[in-house]
C-alpha cells in the first residue's frame, strides 16, 4: 500500500525518528561524496501553486542526488490551472511518474490528490501544514542538542502552518512545547486539542499562551516565522500592530536558556518577527536548518518511493 506525507500526524514517533536517522546518514554520505542513488531512474513531479526557494531547490537537487529526476510543474503549465479536476491530474500523473510533491494553499487539495493517485504524495506546504520543514527543524535540534526528548521548544508568532506541524512533531518526539500567539492569531482549535492529547500520551508539557514572556522561560529552542505568510500580504500592516511584543529580541532571549537555539524557516523579515542582532547571532543554526531541508526530504523521498 502506498504511503503519503500529507501532515505531521501521518508519522508515528518511530516514523519520525527513522526519517531523522536516515537523514543523518544521507547528510554524512553527501558531505563525504558517497553516492546514494536509492531512486535511480525514478521521477518526482513537483507541483507549485505557491512560489518557493528552499522547497523547489531542495527537492530538485535531492532527487538528482538520489539518482532520480525532479520535474518542476507550475500550475500555469498544468491543465489544473485551466480547470482540470485535481482528481484527473492525479490519475494522469500516476501513469508517468513515481511520486508527487505539491506546494499549494488548500490542505483539501493535497488530500484529494492523494486519494486519487496511486503514487506517494508529499505535502511541500499548505496553509494548514508544513511537515517537511518541521522534519528539518527536528533534525537541526537533534544535531545541536544530541537529543529531542525532554527539551523545551517554544514557538512565538502566528498560529500558522508551521505552528500546527510543530505542535504535532515536537510533542510526538517527547519534547515540551509552548506556543505564544496574539489572541486573534491562534492555531486552529483542532491542533490545540491534538497537542493536549499528545502531551498527555507522552507525559510532556503543552502550554498555549498569549504571552511570549511566559512561553520563553527556560527554553532550549525558540522558533518563529513571518507574521504575514504568502497570500496575507494585504494584512501586513494590521498584523505588525497585532504582533507588537512578539519579536524575538535580545531582551526576550535573556529568559531562555543561555545556550538556546533560535530557528526560523525563512525567509526572515529582520526587524519584524526577529531582530537583526538575534538573527545574526544564530545564523549558523538557521542556515543549518535551511540546509537540512535537503537531507530530511531526501530521507522522506527514500522512505516513500524506494521500492526495494
- 194 known ligand binder: no
pLDDT (tens digit, 9 = 90+) per residue, 252-268? 999 999 999 999 999 99
Q: Give yes or no: 293 in active site.
A: yes
In a domain, 15, yes or no: yes
Tell whether 266 is in a known binding site.
Answer: yes
Q: Are residues 195 and 212 in the same domain?
A: yes
- For residue 38, the model assigns a pLDDT of 98
Instruction: Please tell me whether residues 90 and 16 are part of one structural domain.
Output: yes
Among the listed residues 225, 239, 247, 297, the single catalytic one is 225
To the question of whether residue 196 is assigned a binding role by annotation, the answer is no
Residue percentage of the chain with pLDDT more than 90: 90
Cα–Cα distance between 52 and 125 in angstroms, integer?
A: 10
Q: Any binding-site annotation on 128?
A: no
User: Residue 107 sits in a domain of what CATH number?
Assistant: 3.40.50.1370
284 shares a domain with 252: yes
The answer to whether 133 is a known ligand-binding residue is yes
Active-site residue identified among 4, 38, 42, 103? 103
Q: What is the pLDDT of residue 81?
A: 58
* Catalytic site includes residue 210: no
> What predicted TM-score, i.e. pTM, was given to this entire model?
0.96
Catalytic residue chosen out of the listed positions 65, 98, 130, 158: 130
The answer to whether position 1 is within a domain reads no
Quote the percentage of the chain above a pLDDT of 70: 98
Q: Is 130 a catalytic residue?
A: yes
- Average pLDDT value over all residues in the chain: 95
Task: For residue 111, give its domain range.
Answer: 8-130+291-305
Residue 159 has pLDDT above 90, yes or no: yes
Q: Are residues 183 and 138 in the same domain?
A: yes
Please check whether residue 257 is in contact with residue 250, taking contact to mean a CB–CB distance below 8 angstroms. Answer: no
What is the band of 177 on the pLDDT scale with cuts at 50, 70, 90? Answer: very high
Residues 111 and 233 occupy one common structural domain: no
Is residue 115 in a domain?
A: yes
Cis peptide bond upstream of 169, omega within 30 = no
Is 127 annotated as contributing to ligand binding? no
Residues 191 and 236 in one domain: yes
The total of other beta-carbon atoms located within 10 Å of residue 259's CB is 8
The reported pLDDT for the residue numbered 82 is 64
The answer to whether residue 103 is catalytic is yes
- Please give the torsion angle defined by the CA atoms of residues 72, 77, 82 and 86, in that order, rounded to the nearest 10 degrees: -20
Residue 185 domain-assigned (yes or no): yes
140 and 90 belong to one structural domain: no
Is residue 258 among the annotated active site residues?
A: no
The total number of structural domains in the chain stands at 2
139 and 255 part of one domain: yes
Q: Kindly report the backbone phi and psi dihedral angles of residue 99, in degrees, each rounded to the nearest multiple of 5, phi listed first.
A: -170, 160
65, 172: one domain: no
Instruction: Give the integer Cα–Cα distance in Å for 96 and 75.
Output: 17
Residue 2 within any structural domain of the chain:
no
- Do 278 and 172 share a domain, yes or no? yes
Q: Verify that 190 and 106 share a domain, yes or no.
A: no
- What is the distance between the alpha carbons of residues 60 and 115, in angstroms, rounded to a whole number? 24
In the predicted model, what is the mean pLDDT of residues 234-249? 92
**What is the total residue count of the chain?**
308
In a shared domain, residues 88 and 236? no
Tell me, what's the pLDDT at 133? 98
Residue 136 domain flag: yes
Pairing assessment for the beta strands 261-264 and 221-224 based on DSSP bridges? parallel
Residue range 296-308: average pLDDT?
95
pLDDT of residue 51: 83
Q: Is 112 annotated as a binding residue?
A: no
Is 3 domain-assigned? no
Amino acid at each position: 500500500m502506498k504511503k503519503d506525507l500529507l501532515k505531521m500526524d501521518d508519522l508515528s514517533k518511530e516514523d519520525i525518528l527513522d526519517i531523522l536517522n536516515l537523514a543523518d546518514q544521507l547528510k554524512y554520505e553527501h558531505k563525504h561524496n558517497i553516492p546514494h542513488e536509492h531512486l535511480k531512474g525514478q521521477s518526482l513531479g513537483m507541483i507549485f501553486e505557491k512560489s518557493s526557494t528552499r522547497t523547489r531547490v531542495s527537492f530538485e537537487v535531492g532527487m538528482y542526488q538520489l539518482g532520480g529526476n525532479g520535474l518542476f510543474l507550475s500550475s500555469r503549465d498544468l491543465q489544473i490551472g485551466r480547470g482540470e479536476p485535481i482528481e484527473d491530474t492525479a490519475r494522469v500523473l500516476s501513469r508517468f511518474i513515481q511520486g508527487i510533491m505539491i506546494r499549494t494553499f488548500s490542505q483539501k487539495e493535497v488530500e484529494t490528490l492523494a486519494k486519487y493517485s496511486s503514487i506517494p504524495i508529499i505535502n511541500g506546504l499548505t496553509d494548514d501544514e508544513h511537515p517537511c520543514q518541521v522534519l528539518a527543524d527536528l533534525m537541526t535540534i537533534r544535531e545541536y542538542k544530541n537529543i529531542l526528548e525532554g527539551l523545551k521548544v517554544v514557538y512565538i508568532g502566528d498560529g500558522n502552518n508551521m505552528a500546527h506541524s510543530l505542535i504535532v512533531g515536537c510533542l510526538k518526539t517527547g519534547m515540551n512545547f509552548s506556543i505564544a500567539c496574539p489572541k486573534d492569531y491562534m492555531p486552529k482549535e483542532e491542533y490545540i486539542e491534538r497537542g493536549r492529547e499528545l502531551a498527555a500520551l507522552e507525559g510532556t508539557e503543552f502550554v498555549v499562551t498569549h504571552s511570549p514572556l511566559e512561553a520563553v522561560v527556560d527554553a532550549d529552542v525558540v522558533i518563529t516565522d513571518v507574521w504575514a505568510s504568502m497570500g496575507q500580504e494585504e494584512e501586513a500592516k494590521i498584523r505588525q500592530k497585532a504582533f507588537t511584543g512578539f519579536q524575538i529580541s535580545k531582551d526576550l532571549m535573556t529568559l531562555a536558556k543561555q545556550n538556546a537555539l533560535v530557528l526560523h524557516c525563512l525567509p526572515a523579515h529582520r526587524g519584524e518577527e526577529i531582530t537583526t542582532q538575534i538573527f545574526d547571532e544564530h545564523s549558523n543554526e538557521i542556515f543549518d536548518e535551511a540546509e537540512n531541508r535537503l537531507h530530511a526530504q531526501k530521507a522522506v523521498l527514500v522512505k516513500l518511493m524506494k521500492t526495494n
